[in-house]
Amino acid sequence: MKFECFFLLVFSFSIFCFSQSVDENNTFYQEAIQQIRKDNGKSIKIYEYLINNAKNPEQKINYELDLIKIKVFVSKDIEALDIYFGIQSEVEELDNTEIKDKYYIIGSDLASYLGFKDYSEKLYKKVKSKDEKWLNSIHHKFLDLRKDLSVYSNTKNQIQSELNANVVIDSLNKTTNDVERFIFLKRLKTYYLTTNSLEKFADYNSQLTSLNERLNVEKRSARNHLVNKLLEQNKLRIDKEDKNIQTLSIIFSVILLGFIVCLIFYKKKVNTIKTNLISDKVENEILIKLETFEKNKGFLNQNITITTLAKELDTNVKYLSSILNNVKQKSFNNYINELRIEYIIKCLKEDKKFRLYKVSHLATLSGFASQSSFTTFFKLVTGTTPSVFIKKMTENED
- Residue 125 belongs to domain spanning: 2-148
Does the pLDDT at position 2 exceed 80?
no
| Residue 86 to residue 195: CA distance in whole angstroms | 49
Q: Does 154 reside within a domain?
A: no
> What CATH number does residue 376 fall under?
1.10.10.60
pLDDT digits (tens, 9 = 90+) for 222-280: 888 888 888 887 887 787 776 666 665 677 677 877 778 777 666 555 444 444 457 88
172 and 138 share one domain: no
Stated pTM of the model: 0.48
Secondary structure of residue 313 in the 3-state scheme: coil
Looking at the domain assignment, is residue 153 inside a domain?
no
CB-based burial of residue 185 (10 Å sphere; 0-12 exposed, 13-18 middle, 19+ buried)?
buried
pLDDT tens digits along 351-369: 889 989 999 999 999 999 8
Question: What contacts 24+ positions apart, CB below 8 Å, involve 376-379?
Answer: 377/337, 377/338, 377/340, 377/341, 378/341, 378/344
Separation of first and last alpha carbons in the chain: 53
Domain shared by 347 and 261, yes or no = no
3-state secondary structure of 74: coil
Encode burial over 232-254: b for 16+ CB neighbours within 10 A, e otherwise. eebeeebeeeeeeeeeeeebbee
Q: Are 114 and 142 in contact (CB under 8 A)?
A: no
Both 292 and 347 in one domain: the answer is yes
In a shared domain, residues 202 and 130? no
Same domain, 204 and 128: no
Interatomic CA distance for residues 177 and 72, integer angstroms: 11
For 26-70, how does the pLDDT look when each residue is reduced to its tens digit (9 = 90+)?
555 555 555 555 566 777 887 888 888 888 999 899 889 888 888
